[in-house]
Amino acid sequence: MTTVSILRVSPHRTISISLNTEFLNVIKVGEEVEVETEVSKIGRNIVFTDCRLYTDPHHKRKLACKGSHVKAVLQ
C-alpha cells in the first residue's frame, strides 16, 4: 500500500534555497523501498523538509539515501 500526502504551504510561489542529497547504500532494481518525509519546521517565510529512503523495510531496514530541502515562500 502506498500513501502519499501533499502539503500546500501557501498559495504563493516558492523558491528552493537549499537542496541536499546523500546516497548511503545501493538500491537494486526491483527492490522495495520505504520513503519517510517530514516537514521539520515552518517559519514565516522559510520551510525546512527532510526525506529518508530505506531498503528492505520489512526486515533490516537499511538507510539508503537521505536528503533535505529548504524553501522560501515568496510574498
Range of the domain at 45: 14-73
**What's the pLDDT score for residue 19?**
96
3-state DSSP call for residue 41? strand
What does the alpha-carbon distance between residue 66 and residue 75 come to, in Å, rounded to a whole number?
A: 30
Q: Is 64 buried (19+), middle (13-18) or exposed (0-12) by CB count in 10 A?
A: buried
CATH number at residue 33: 3.10.129.10
Q: If you ran DSSP here, which 8-state letter would residue 2 be given?
A: -
Q: Is residue 2 part of a domain?
A: no
Residue 6 lies in a domain: no
* pLDDT single digits (tens) 21-46: 999 999 999 999 999 999 999 998 89
More confident residue, 59 or 5: 59
Is 52 contained in some domain?
Answer: yes
Q: For the chain, what is the domain count?
A: 1
Q: What is the pTM of this model?
A: 0.72
What distance lies between CA 69 and its chain's CA centroid? 7
Residue 4, helix vs strand vs coil: coil
